[in-house]
Chain A
Amino acid sequence: MSGPITPTRTYYRVFAALIALTLVTVYVSFLELGPWHTTVGVLIGVVKASLVGLFFMHLLHSSKASWLAVLASLFWLGILMVLTISDYLTRHILEY
C-alpha cells in the first residue's frame, strides 16, 4: 500500500469540516427534536466517520482488500444489529 502522498491541504480541509460538523451536532442537541436526536446525531456521525475513513485513513487510495475488510465489518455489524433488534421490535405483536 503505497498510494499517493496526501497533501496537507486536504487534511486541513477535512479537519475543518469535522470541527464544523461537531459544532453542528452539539447545536442540534439543543433543538426540540423529540425522539429524533439520536437519529440526527448518528447520521452526522456517519458523515464524520466517512470523512475520517476516506481521507485520514487513506481509504480513498487503499487496495481493494482494505475496502473488503471495511465493507465486511459493516455488513456483519448490520447482521448483528438488524437481526437482534428485529427480535425486540416484534416481540409483543402476536400477543393481541
Chain B
Amino acid sequence: MSSAITTGFVPQAKTRPPRTPGENYLNVAFGVKSWLLTTDHKRIAILYLVTLTILFFIGGAAATVIRLNLMTPNGELVPADTYNKLFSAHGIIMVWFFLVPVVPTVLGNFLVPMMIGARDLAFPKINLLSWYVFTIGAIITLWALLAGGVDTGWTFYTPFSSKYARTNVLPTMIGIFISGFSSIMTGLNFIATMHTMRAPGLTWFRMPLFLWAHYAASIILVLATPVLAMALILVGVERAWGIGIFDPELGGDPVLFQHLFWFYSHPVVYIMLLPAMGIVSEIVTCFSRKHIFGYVFVLWSSIGIAVLSFLVWAHHMFVAGQSVYSALIFSALSYMVAVPSAIKVFNWTATLYKGSIAFETPLLFALGFIALFTMGGLTGLFLAALGVDMHVHDTYFIIAHFHFIMVGGSVMGYMGGLHYWWPKMTGRMYSDFLSKLAALIIFVGFILTFLPQFVLGYLGMPRRYHVYPPEFQVLNVMSSAGASILAVGYVLPLFYMLWSLYAGKPSGPNPWGATGLEWQTPSPPPPHNFDETPIVTTGPYEYSIEESALVH
C-alpha cells in the first residue's frame, strides 16, 4: 500500500517527509519557540491543557474559599464584598475559561484530526491563533479579577452591571469578549475539518460519536458566541458612556439583556456537555467491548441537542418578567431538549448489556458521568416545570442542578477522556491504583457536596448569599465537607499524571484495545499523525469482529 489515496480525490503528487523511527510530535523539536510557534494540533492541545489546568485550579481556589465561608451562617471568613467577588470569579473562570473550552480545545484539538485520519485541522494557523486569543483574554480577565475584582456574578445582569456595580466590570467583559473569538475559531475549525478532511471511506455515518458530539458542540460555539459578544458590547457601551440600552430610566428593558445572555448561555451548557457525552460514548464501547447501541439515535440526539438547546433559553427567566405565553412556550420546548439526553443515557446503558466490561479508570469516570448526569438531567425536569421553577429559581436547587450537569457531567467526562487518551498523548501509563482512587474520591466528594444543596434549595436558600439563616447551617457544613473531599480528588490526578511523565511505563500504541483511527498510530503520535492516509472500510466500534479489519 504505497499509495493510500483512493478515488474521490484527484491524485496530487505529494511526498511526505520520511519519518525517522521513534520520532513523535513531542520530540520532533525542542525549545520554547518550537511550542509557541507550533501549528501542530497536538502541541496546541498540550498548550491548552497546561493553560486550562492552571485556570481550573484558580477557579477551584475561589470555590474553596466560598465553601469555607459558608461553614458558618454569619460568614465570618470574608466580608460580603469579597464573597461576591469570589463567586463572580469562580463562575467567570469556570464557565468561560475552563468548562467551555476544555474538552474541545484539549481533547478535541488532539483527537479530531486523528480520528478522521487527517494530518491536521483545516486551519492550523487559526488554531494556534485561537490559543493566543484565549490566553490574552484569560490574562485580561484574570488581571481584572485579581486587581480589584468584579462583583456582578458571571451573569452580568443589567442594570446592576451596567450602572450600579463599582468594580472592574468593563475589563472583565473585554477579556471574555476576546476569548469568545477563540471559541469561534475552534468551532469553525472543527466544522470545516469534519466537512472537508475526512479520510477516504470515512463517511459521515462512519464517524465516531466523539466527532459527532464535537460537530454538534461546534455548531453552538459558532452560532451562540457572537450573540454573547454583542450582548457584552451593548453592556459595555452602556456602562462606558451611560447610554441606556438596558436601562429602564432611559427607555431600555433590562430583561432584553437576559434574553441575549441566555441565548448564548443556555446552549453553552451543551458546549460543555456534548463533547463529554462524545467521550463517554467512546469509553463505554471500548471498555465493554461492544458496538454502541443505537448509533444513529445517539448521533442524531447530539444534533438534536445542538438545535433544541437554542430554543429553550428563556427557562432561565420564568420569574424574570417575560410574558406568560413566552414562558409556556419555553417550558414546553425545555422538555423537548430532555428527550435526546435521555436517549443517550438509555443507549449507553444498553451498550453495557452482554458486554465484556473492564473496570479501568476511564470507565469509572464514564459511569460516574452517567450517574451524575442522569441526576442532573432529571432535576432539570423540575426546573422546566413552570410551577416548581417559580419556587426553586435562583436557589441552591439551581446551583446543585447545574453543578451536577457541569461538574458531575462535563468535568467527569473530561477526566474520563483525559485518562482514556493520556497514554495516546504522552505514551505513558499513570498509576492504576491512584487513578481509581481519584475517581472514587471525586464521585463521593461530589455527591456529598451537591446533594445537600438540593435540600437547601427546596428549603428556599437563595444563591449568592454571603450569610444565611442559622437553620441552614448543618446542610451547608455537609456541603463544605464534601467540597474538601472533592478538592483532594481533583489535586490527586495532577500528581500522578505528572509523575507518569517521568516514571510511567510505556503504553504502546493501543493499551485499551480500542478501535478508532487514533489508536492505529504510535503513542505519542508522529508529527503528521499517520505515515499514510488511512482508508476506512467500516463504521466505528466494531469490537465484536474477530480481527480488526478497520484500517489497512
A: residues with CB less than 8 A from B are 65, 72-73, 76, 79-80, 83-84, 86-94
Q: How far is the CA of A6 from the CA of B259 in the complex (A)?
A: 43
Q: How far is the CA of A33 from the CA of B209 in the complex (A)?
A: 54
Contact A87 B259, CB 8 Å, known A72-B223, A76-B223, A93-B323: yes
Contact A84 B259, CB 8 Å, known A72-B223, A76-B223, A93-B325: yes
Which 3 interchain pairs have the tightest Cβ spacing? A87-B326, A91-B323, A90-B323
Q: Name the CB-closest residue of A to B263.
A: A80
The reply on B545 being an interface residue by CB < 8 A is no
Inside 8 A of B256's CB, which chain A residues have their CB? Answer: 84
Which of B195, B196, B322 sits near A87, CB closer than 8 Å? B322
Q: Name the CB-closest residue of A to B324.
A: A94
Q: How far is the CA of A83 from the CA of B323 in the complex (A)?
A: 11
Q: Name the CB-closest residue of A to B253.
A: A88
Q: Say whether A80 contacts B227, CB under 8 Å.
A: yes
Q: Name the CB-closest residue of A to B326.
A: A87
The reply on B311 being an interface residue by CB < 8 A is yes
Besides the known contacts A83-B329, A93-B323, 18 further A-B residue pairs in the complex with CB atoms under 8 A apart: A73-B223, A76-B310, A79-B310, A83-B314, A83-B326, A84-B256, A84-B263, A87-B322, A87-B323, A87-B326, A88-B323, A90-B323, A90-B324, A90-B326, A91-B322, A94-B323, A94-B324, A94-B325
Contact A86 B195, CB 8 Å, known A72-B223, A79-B310, A91-B323: no
Inside 8 A of A89's CB, which chain B residues have their CB? Answer: 323
The reply on B185 being an interface residue by CB < 8 A is no
Contact A83 B223, CB 8 Å, known A65-B195, A90-B326, A94-B324: no
The reply on B219 being an interface residue by CB < 8 A is yes
Inside 8 A of B223's CB, which chain A residues have their CB? Answer: 72-73, 76
Q: Name the CB-closest residue of B to A75.
A: B307
Q: Say whether B311 contacts A83, CB under 8 Å.
A: yes
Inside 8 A of A84's CB, which chain B residues have their CB? Answer: 256, 259, 263
Inside 8 A of A65's CB, which chain B residues have their CB? Answer: 195-196
Q: Name the CB-closest residue of B to A95.
A: B324
Q: How far is the CA of A14 from the CA of B397 in the complex (A)?
A: 58
Inside 8 A of B263's CB, which chain A residues have their CB? Answer: 80, 84
From B263, B323, B324, residue with most partner A Cβ within 10 Å: B323
B: residues with CB less than 8 A from A are 195-196, 219, 223, 227, 256, 259, 263, 310-311, 313-314, 322-326, 329-330
Q: Name the CB-closest residue of A to B322.
A: A87
Q: How far is the CA of A73 from the CA of B222 in the complex (A)?
A: 10
Q: How far is the CA of A90 from the CA of B329 in the complex (A)?
A: 12
Main secondary structure, interface of A, reads helix
Q: How far is the CA of A72 from the CA of B216 in the complex (A)?
A: 13
Q: How far is the CA of A84 from the CA of B310 in the complex (A)?
A: 12
Main secondary structure, interface of B, reads helix
Q: How far is the CA of A18 from the CA of B313 in the complex (A)?
A: 38
How far, in Å, is B329 (CB) from chain A's closest CB? 7
Q: Say whether A86 contacts B311, CB under 8 Å.
A: no
How far, in Å, is A85 (CB) from chain B's closest CB? 10
Q: Say whether A87 contacts B219, CB under 8 Å.
A: no
What are 16 of the A-B contact pairs (CB < 8 Å)? A72-B219, A76-B310, A79-B310, A83-B314, A84-B256, A86-B325, A87-B259, A87-B314, A87-B322, A88-B323, A90-B323, A91-B323, A91-B326, A93-B323, A93-B325, A94-B323
Inside 8 A of B326's CB, which chain A residues have their CB? Answer: 83, 86-87, 90-91
Q: Say whether B325 contacts A90, CB under 8 Å.
A: yes
Q: Name the CB-closest residue of B to A94.
A: B324
How far, in Å, is B197 (CB) from chain A's closest CB? 12
Q: How far is the CA of A11 from the CA of B322 in the complex (A)?
A: 47
Q: How far is the CA of A93 from the CA of B325 in the complex (A)?
A: 9
Inside 8 A of B325's CB, which chain A residues have their CB? Answer: 86, 90, 93-94
How far, in Å, is A76 (CB) from chain B's closest CB? 5
Q: How far is the CA of A90 from the CA of B326 in the complex (A)?
A: 7
How far, in Å, is A71 (CB) from chain B's closest CB? 12
Q: Name the CB-closest residue of A to B219.
A: A72
How far, in Å, is B311 (CB) from chain A's closest CB? 6
Inside 8 A of A83's CB, which chain B residues have their CB? Answer: 311, 313-314, 326, 329-330
Inside 8 A of A93's CB, which chain B residues have their CB? Answer: 323, 325
Inside 8 A of A91's CB, which chain B residues have their CB? Answer: 322-323, 326
Q: How far is the CA of A41 from the CA of B330 in the complex (A)?
A: 31
Q: How far is the CA of A29 from the CA of B311 in the complex (A)?
A: 36
Inside 8 A of A73's CB, which chain B residues have their CB? Answer: 223
Q: How far is the CA of A65 from the CA of B191 in the complex (A)?
A: 10
Inside 8 A of A79's CB, which chain B residues have their CB? Answer: 310-311
Inside 8 A of A80's CB, which chain B residues have their CB? Answer: 227, 263
Q: How far is the CA of A73 from the CA of B325 in the complex (A)?
A: 26
Inside 8 A of A86's CB, which chain B residues have their CB? Answer: 323, 325-326, 329
Inside 8 A of A88's CB, which chain B residues have their CB? Answer: 323
How far, in Å, is B450 (CB) from chain A's closest CB? 31
How far, in Å, is A74 (CB) from chain B's closest CB? 11
How far, in Å, is B462 (CB) from chain A's closest CB? 25
Inside 8 A of B227's CB, which chain A residues have their CB? Answer: 80
Q: How far is the CA of A94 from the CA of B321 in the complex (A)?
A: 13
Q: How far is the CA of A9 from the CA of B313 in the complex (A)?
A: 47
How far, in Å, is B505 (CB) from chain A's closest CB? 44
Q: How far is the CA of A80 from the CA of B219 in the complex (A)?
A: 15
Q: Name the CB-closest residue of A to B310.
A: A79
Inside 8 A of A76's CB, which chain B residues have their CB? Answer: 223, 310
Q: Name the CB-closest residue of B to A65.
A: B195
